[in-house]
Amino acid sequence: MHRLSAYGIGLDVPSGWEAELSLQEGAEDPDADPAPGEGLVVLHAANFWLPNERDDYGAEALEAMGPSGVFIALVEFDRDAVGSMLFEHHGIPTDLQPDDFDPAALRRPMREQAGLQRFFHSAGRAFCLHAVIGSYHHRHPLTPEANTILSGLTIE
């Protein structure tokens, strides 16, 4: 396991997982390492190889994901969203349930994949958690993998 940390986000990355932290497309200075809150962050983590090119919600990664895959995207929103109803949940969702995953929750349904979205705030920052599993039929063994990676996530 290794620790990935940047932009006020930290993640314990287990063996066999890939993860990357970056600033969203359109960030003013992609070469700068902003202090927390000075750029909108995207985190991608997966238990499979991540393609180099991915949109914020990982569409290209989902195309590469097999039935045993788990993909997590954490997408930051503007701090002004923290007070809104959409982001009223406080704290990182780490208690996903197998039946929370739904094939209809994906923008582009692929194979047997299922996904979910959770909006929340933490440390004065607003986020969308987008989690996708490679097989709805295997959601019971795949959901704990998603929860394990989320339990190693910190936000400052």
CATH code of residue 146: 2.60.120
**The total number of structural domains that make up the chain:** 1
Whole-number pLDDT of residue 61: 96
Residues 61/32, Cβ–Cβ less than 8 Å: no
Q: What is the domain range of residue 77?
A: 2-28+35-155
Whole-number pLDDT of residue 38: 57
Weakly modelled stretches of the chain, pLDDT under 50:
27-37
Whole-number pLDDT of residue 1: 86
Whole-number pLDDT of residue 30: 43
